[in-house]
Amino acid sequence: MRLLYSALFYCLLPFVLLRMLWRSRRAPEYRRRWGERLGFFTVPSPWSDERPWLWLHAVSVGETLAAAPVVEALLARYPDHKLVLTTTTPTGSEQVRKLFGERVFHVYAPWDLPGAVQRFLKKLQPRLLVIMETELWPNTIHLARKAGCRIVLANARMSARSARGYQRLSGLTRPMLTQLNVVACQAEADAQRLQQLGMPESGIEVTGSIKFDLDLDQALQQSAATLRADWRCDERPIVVAASTHAGEDEQILAAFRRVREQSHDALLVLVPRHPERFNAVESLCMEAGYTPLRRSTGRVPDANCAIVLGDTMGELLLLLSTGRVAIIGGSLVPHGGHNVLEAAAWGVPVLTGPHIFNFAQISELMVAAGAMLQLENEQDLPGVLVDLLSDATRLERMGKAGLEVVAANRGALERLLAVIGREMSRPA
């Protein structure tokens, strides 16, 4: 089955390249560094010593941010190893450089083609591969294990929807899962689905979600305090719409118009998930009658400003600190939602649409604690948002509940690092 998959991938490669060119119209970085995706790259001289490699893979910005404490721990605990951190998107690449600079070696992950993966592995010969979340590629896993690399699937989640997709390809999925050494799952439901797909029970551990171990360090808290003061957050209602996708911005703008009818000084901080959409979302704001202030200008929104467009990378966590309410994107369309804990960690109440299946367990905890409202359908957004902003007591109660949920569920990071430590002590 894997050989058939590989042959199909090779046949589709021209279309993959065309898609990269198409995406590069709005994000030029997609047309650069293609050699890395095919396993062709040069290891710079600072990394040419004889220390063995550890490999951590994070798809894009969200996974890279979630992996940040894992990376820091690996750098601190294994100074006798070098760390290569791979991503698949330019925004993920930019985030790696911003967070870690020259402390890690960064290249794009090779496409899941036998030749590309073999070239990557031959050049680095990593001792351990840590894959964040559920980025499962048959050739990468098979060839890494064949090359003597131990493999940990970290912070793993498997929604019911994803499980159905993997089940349809059971001939590919089952042998792939059996080649993983350990899967560290976020929740028991994820563990059960992975076991049903073919992962041996002996290789599954429930360690919790490392997203609960989010660290709001002193520098970030100081930046947040400065931003809140500059924007006069205590004097006007601010709604942060985080990580929005196509089809959501129009809904949020319509709901915000209702908010402005009740609170004429309300401010919307609108943060699209993908940078190639920044200009399109700005146009949507203007069509709705607003002139958005782009965050990248560095200017402070005045009393007449209705919308700040979050067009910078890596600032979402900071921008969430300004909110009286946070609407989490990816949930008003059937994408599956995004991390609700980044808002909760600031004590900001969370509002989502009905499509939050990628974070089902976390969302259940948040809703049960009273820290989050999940809409039954998208059409309810305007009324619920207006009602919520008019109830200061409820907002305060939701914010405190969110802080309690985050505090009560910390500890997954140390459990994951214990799993990695055990794998480091074992032969390939």
Per-residue pLDDT tens over the stretch 179-232: 999 999 999 999 999 999 999 999 999 999 999 998 899 999 999 999 999 999
- Bridge partners of 153, per DSSP, are 131, 183
Confidence bin at 25 (pLDDT 50/70/90): confident
The tokens describing 22, both together, are 């198409």
Tokens of 233: 């957050």
Residue 58's nearest CA partner among 17, 117, 2, 109 is: 109
Check for a shared fold between 2-208+411-424 and 223-408.
yes
Pick the CATH number of 223-408 from 3.60.21.10, 3.30.70.270, 3.40.50.280, 3.40.50.2000: 3.40.50.2000
Tens digits of residue pLDDT in 85-127: 999 999 899 999 999 999 999 999 999 999 999 999 999 999 9
Q: Domain segments of the chain: what residues? A: 2-208+411-424, 223-408
Tell me the whole-structure pTM to 2 decimals: 0.88
Q: Which CATH architecture has domain 2-208+411-424?
A: 3-Layer(aba) Sandwich (3.40)
State how far the Cα of 276 lies from the Cα of 295, in Å rounded to an integer: 15
Query: What dihedral do alpha carbons 8, 11, 14, 17 form, nearest 10°?
Result: 20
- Give 428's pLDDT tier (boundaries 50, 70, 90): low
Nearest Cα to 360, choosing from 130, 108, 107, 186?
A: 186
Letter string b/e over residues 276-294, b meaning 16 or more CB atoms within 10 A of that residue's CB: bbbeebbebbeebebebbb
For residue 115, the cross-strand partners are none
**Euclidean distance between CA atoms 365 and 375, whole angstroms:** 15
Instruction: Note the pLDDT tens digit of each residue in 221-276.
Output: 999 999 999 999 999 999 999 999 999 999 999 999 999 999 999 999 999 999 88
Q: Which of 29, 36, 63, 102 is catalytic?
A: 63
Q: Identify the three-state secondary structure at position 351.
A: strand
| Residue 63 annotated among the catalytic residues of the structure | yes
Cα 419 to Cα 286: distance, rounded to the nearest angstrom: 50
The whole-angstrom separation of Cα 3 and Cα 242 is 41
**What are the E-state strand segments in 163-305?**
182-185, 204-206, 238-244, 267-272, 293-294
